[in-house]
Amino acid sequence: MTSPKSGVDHVMRTTLEHIRDRFSTDHPRYVLFTTFNFASRFFEANVLPLLVGDNVNDLKGASETRYAINEDLNTVKCLVVCDRSTCPEPKGDMRYGLLPVGLAGGRFHPKLMLMAGTLKDTQKQGMWLSAGSSNLTLSGWAINREVVGMTPVTSGHAEELRPLITWLQAEAVRQFEFGGNAGCKEEGDVRRILDELHAALDGANPFAPPTPGTPTLHLSLPAGYGKSAMLHALKGGSNWHTATVVSPYWSAVDTLVQALGVEQCRFVPSLTADGLYRFPRDSSDLTRHTFAGFRNGGERYTHAKALLLQNEEQRVLCIGSANFTQAAMLTAQDQRLMNIEAMLRYDLGGVPDPWSALLQPLEAPHFAQAAPDDEDEGAPPLPPFDVTVLYDWAVGEFRAHLTVTGDVPVSDIALWIGSRHHCFNAAVSGQTQVMSEWWHKGAQPVRSFSVTYRAGQSEPMTFRGLITQVNADDDQLGYQPRPRLSKVLELLRGLNPQPSDRKAKERALSDLADGGGDGEEVPADPTFDFFGLFQGAWKLLEYYQRPGSPGGGRDPYDELAPHGAVTLYRAITAQAAITHEEKIGRYIQLSEMHDIVARLDGMKPFESPETLRNDIKAEIAALHAEMVTLLGKSESFRSMFGEATQTRVEGFLAWFRKEIGREVSH
């Protein structure tokens, strides 16, 4: 339990650093964070830099650029899973996966960190786990009184984690693979990370052996995935005499105390902003129970959730995400809500009460009036539907589907993206509707949407959600600077062996952008330096094909290579092609690009991605028709070749493409 004197808590940062440092940085790692609330700006500015190896001094001063951190996040694959009903902040331009999930009758509430990779001390595969009460927010990581425990993953932990990962895999498939999206590549490699974690939990490598101090892990999961109720798992098979409960939210207190079977309970409630304690005072026999508060920092908000069970012979301490509410602790068939939770259970044996010095009795505490929705734990209302919105960068299209999940009819349903909207029909439970084609072409990701609706006879309500980006390039998502053709050609024309340290990579990435390097992308003026294009293309081919060249043996289609073919293509297509002059320039550049790819494909073992070849051919074909029209109207063409017949125009363009190939070869 944390009680910092400075008012700033470092327990979560220390936990992350400890787990991070157990793993080798020379091998891939896969990291899963689960949280109820999610603050993306806090996470991207504070947690991700720590995850890739920054220390506290880096965070206080000039840290790495986000481009360099994003490069490291190619090796440290990170996924955040949060509850959709909290309206999480849209993610920024950092490389990680974000999967909002929801339950029709409950909350996704666990606070886990799971890391898999190669252990530094043994160079063998291993996993570490932490479970606690902290959300991925500033208050959860620095302000509130929280609790967390960590442990190497044992076979018992793996058995408990597999159903959760399986459920998350099913959620990801349901969100990403509707309406023919099975082959899409979602931002953050969500499905790949879950697959890797599931494989690690199923792997042949031995898990860490349990020790007397190793906690057991207990999860409450949706029907069909979980086992017993959380409270019964934490209680175990022993008879307990007393219990101490720390929780910011409470409901069905008498029912839960009765299920524990204890003679006396000590409750440790949290203070509200008004300086009153939150506890349903009318729902419990207070003559049999007592209240306590923390000796140090008693005015500090306690968000920790803990349960200490005692009898004459032993003590058990349980910490994690579960409040002392029916939704968190029980699985009764008739209850309205049932959450997904995670708790660690420590068997303390006969050691003295670990909280005796932390707590003091509360004499005549002043209670806040219990809210009627305390079972909801202060969370926003559950949306009566499940809605998924994707944006496919490859075709420039929004896709969405909506399924009503509640028992109350839902009407006046409208999906809003910016100022545009799509109306769904009124629907009943289980009915799924798919949005018709919605075309959109933009330079920046659209990250959020909203749904306005009525549930039954209620007033109009609004749900806000996040749009998943699929089939996007790194520079479109802001992971890398958007390549400028002039800069790419300058880089190609000056190709020399590059040192492999981080600073050289940072310089190469920054050189692709226009000056500032802050990632605020402003469209560049179109480049018509065709001599530079031909010279840069020749240098590119020499770099990858000439024996002894520093590019020899490297993949020319590596999307992260600053001077690779994919980067050159992205730089060409990132320019505007609106005027006749711009379209002619684009046609010349793409014709050159087509020839470059054809020549590189003659080099084994690398072959261009099929999507790259198809995209180049499709764009050339689309521009070809316009070139025919433009040449047919050209006075210069007619004065030189006579009447602009179809045969003459096509012959000229064929000659032109042949000359492009000759220019590259020379």
Specify the CATH number for the domain of residue 342: 3.30.870
Indicate whether 120 belongs to any domain: yes
Are 390 and 371 in a shared domain? Answer: no
**Residue at 445: amino acid letter:** P
The pLDDT score that the predictor gives to residue 371 is: 54
**Residue at 513: amino acid letter:** A
Are 94 and 163 in a shared domain? Answer: yes
**Residue at 550: amino acid letter:** P
Indicate whether 476 belongs to any domain: no
Are 504 and 631 in a shared domain? Answer: yes
Query: Which stretch, 261-270, 472-481, 588-597, has highest mean pLDDT?
Result: 261-270
Are 397 and 328 in a shared domain? Answer: no
pLDDT: which is higher, 174 or 60 = 174
Averaged pLDDT score across all residues of the chain: 84
- Per-residue pLDDT of 499-534, as tens digits, reads 444 444 455 555 555 444 444 444 555 555 677 787
Are 639 and 534 in a shared domain? Answer: yes
Indicate whether 446 belongs to any domain: yes
- The tokens for 113 are 């960190």
Domain boundary (354, 376, 398) is at: 376
Cα Rg, the chain, nearest whole Å? 30
The pLDDT score that the predictor gives to residue 456 is: 85
The pLDDT score that the predictor gives to residue 236 is: 93
Buried-exposed string 218-243: b where 16+ CB fall within 10 A, e elsewhere? bbbbbeeebeebbbbbbbeeeebebb
Are 101 and 192 in a shared domain? Answer: yes
Report the alpha-carbon distance of residue 460 to residue 89 in Å, rounded.
22
Query: Which stretch, 111-125, 318-332, 346-360, has highest mean pLDDT?
Result: 111-125
Are 491 and 465 in a shared domain? Answer: no
pLDDT: which is higher, 173 or 177 = 173
Buried-exposed string 612-632: b where 16+ CB fall within 10 A, e elsewhere? beebbeebbeebbeebbebbe
- The tokens for 85 are 């009903």
Burial of 568 (0-12, 13-18, 19+ CB in 10 A): buried
The pLDDT score that the predictor gives to residue 447 is: 95
The pLDDT score that the predictor gives to residue 586 is: 84
Q: To the nearest 10°, the Cα dihedral for 275, 280, 282, 284?
A: -120
What lies within 8 Å, CB to CB, of 487 at 6+ separation is: 511, 512, 513, 514, 571
Are 429 and 281 in a shared domain? Answer: no
The model's confidence at residue 606, banded by pLDDT at 50, 70 and 90, is: confident
Indicate whether 4 belongs to any domain: no
Indicate whether 111 belongs to any domain: yes
Q: Residue 313 pLDDT > 80, yes or no?
A: yes
Indicate whether 475 belongs to any domain: no
Are 237 and 117 in a shared domain? Answer: no
The pLDDT score that the predictor gives to residue 153 is: 97
Cis peptide before 605 (omega within 30 of 0): yes
Domain count, the chain: 4
Q: Residue 580 pLDDT > 80, yes or no?
A: no
Report the alpha-carbon distance of residue 434 to residue 416 in Å, rounded.
14
Contact 248, 270 (CB under 8 A): yes
**pTM of the model as a whole:** 0.81
Classify the C-alpha dihedral 241-212-339-111 as positive or negative: positive
Are 405 and 327 in a shared domain? Answer: no
The pLDDT score that the predictor gives to residue 62 is: 43
Helix (H) / strand (E) element for 327: namely helix 326-329
Quick one: average pLDDT of 78-88?
96
Are 319 and 416 in a shared domain? Answer: no
Count of other CB atoms within 10 angstroms of residue 314 = 14
Q: Residue 118 pLDDT > 50, yes or no?
A: yes
Q: Which of 57-61, 113-117, 471-475, 550-554 has the lowest mean pLDDT?
A: 57-61
CATH number assigned to the domain comprising residue 464: 2.60.40
What lies within 8 Å, CB to CB, of 497 at 6+ separation is: 550
Quick one: average pLDDT of 610-628?
85
The model's confidence at residue 665, banded by pLDDT at 50, 70 and 90, is: low
Domain boundary (208, 228, 247) is at: 208
What lies within 8 Å, CB to CB, of 273 at 6+ separation is: none
Indicate whether 643 belongs to any domain: yes
- Per-residue pLDDT of 440-478, as tens digits, reads 988 889 999 999 999 888 889 999 999 999 999 888 998
- Per-residue pLDDT of 379-424, as tens digits, reads 788 999 999 999 999 888 999 999 998 888 899 999 999 999 999 9
Indicate whether 438 belongs to any domain: yes
Are 350 and 430 in a shared domain? Answer: no
What lies within 8 Å, CB to CB, of 573 at 6+ separation is: 619
What lies within 8 Å, CB to CB, of 380 at 6+ separation is: 85, 86, 87
Structural domain boundaries, residue 114: 11-208
Q: Which residue has tokens 């802050």?
A: 518
The pLDDT score that the predictor gives to residue 226 is: 64
Query: Cα–chain-centroid distance for residue 44?
Result: 10
Quick one: average pLDDT of 236-255?
93
Burial of 605 (0-12, 13-18, 19+ CB in 10 A): exposed
The pLDDT score that the predictor gives to residue 58 is: 57
- Per-residue pLDDT of 318-352, as tens digits, reads 999 999 999 999 876 656 788 999 999 999 988 88
Domain boundary (446, 470, 494) is at: 470
Contact 596, 603 (CB under 8 A): no
